[in-house]
Amino acid sequence: MKRYWLLFSQSITVLLAAWFVVATLKPQWLNQRPVLTRIVPVFEAGETERSPAVQASSYSSAAQTAAPAVVSISTSKAPARNPHAEDPWFRFFFGDQQASPQPQTGLGSGVIVSPEGYILTNNHVVEEADEIQVQLSDGRGARARTVGTDPETDLAILKIELPQLPVVVLGDSEQLRVGDVVLAIGNPFGVGQTVTSGIVSALGRSQLGINTFENFIQTDAAINPGNSGGALVDVNGHLMGINTAIYSRSGGSMGIGFAIPTSTARDVLEAIVRDGSVTRGWIGVEPQALTPELAQYFGVGQTEGVIITGVLQNGPAAAAGLRPGDVVVRVAGTPVKDVPGLLSAVAALPPGSPADIELERREGRQVLKVTPSRRNPPPRER
């Protein structure tokens, strides 16, 4: 028994000695933990873990969905001949002017919105063009004809005859919110189809002096010359607007671009395809933004709406009883808060159909029935 006890004591002593040596020289051997089955993200040096909500995303799917329907548009216009070129005295003093200068050319973009070949673009891209050529991203090309234009919104509808055309999906621009990611697709500077990204930085931009009817989407997605008429799409590749203008001091993008919303483009497209032109209502008034000074001058207590400062004699508004100093608050049930809102509400009225106009005047609130006439677009400045 004593022998076994001695053997046990010696074994314990050896184990303790070994533990002491290991604890002194290789302490990490004693601190190992069992391996867990959880997968831990691995980051490179300098990175910090990000939540899935803010991780960078790829918009390649949206670009691949919409890009095939975005086309490049090139236009040409024959140069104007000198009216005195055939005059012998003119030719005697200034030489033979028979050699024609080079035709004027232009570049822009467009979006195929129908399998029948209808293309949405800007009016200023194709205005006064003698020939319009459309180039698709798949390499095909075709000559386009102008179906109709609407200078007051700066939109135009073209048509090409090609089979199996890619078509963009028209989205609901009314659902856009400030901060939404958008992509601008077009042909800037003629370098080829280009996709840029940004966000919606503002909605309902107006009074910019670009078009008669303005309701622009503002974006910081890079838009440059040649992008006009191109697509502004959401992250699903759905068309939200037609790129039309930029704010720039240098001629290039400075982070402020404007697009015509799809809600406007859809109405213009349907009207031109159906009737060949856009028909708008007109009542013959001169509106102005309501200010406290004007309200006090005309003796009205209204704080919202548009004040009428002039009424065209023998026009629809005059025939209905509108007069200077009236503050229009509703047109056919649509609230009116500013001058662009009044113009849009009146333009939406079908000519020849009576509509109610609710207004505030010194005697109190009244409702007049006005029968609008057809609006004639003003002459466009060259």
Residues taking part in catalysis: 124, 154, 228
Local structure of residue 10 (DSSP, 8 states): H
Q: What's the CA gap between 155 and 150, in Å, rounded?
A: 5
Q: What's the CA gap between 262 and 213, in Å, rounded?
A: 14
Q: What's the CA gap between 288 and 294, in Å, rounded?
A: 9
Q: What's the CA gap between 241 and 260, in Å, rounded?
A: 5
SS3 170: strand
Q: Which of 175, 176, 173, 128 is nearest to 149 (CA)?
A: 128
End-to-end CA distance of the chain: 120
| The total number of residues written for the chain in this structure | 382
SS3 346: helix
SS3 108: strand
Q: What's the CA gap between 93 and 96, in Å, rounded?
A: 9
Question: How many beta carbons lie within 10 A of that of residue 130, not counting itself?
Answer: 10
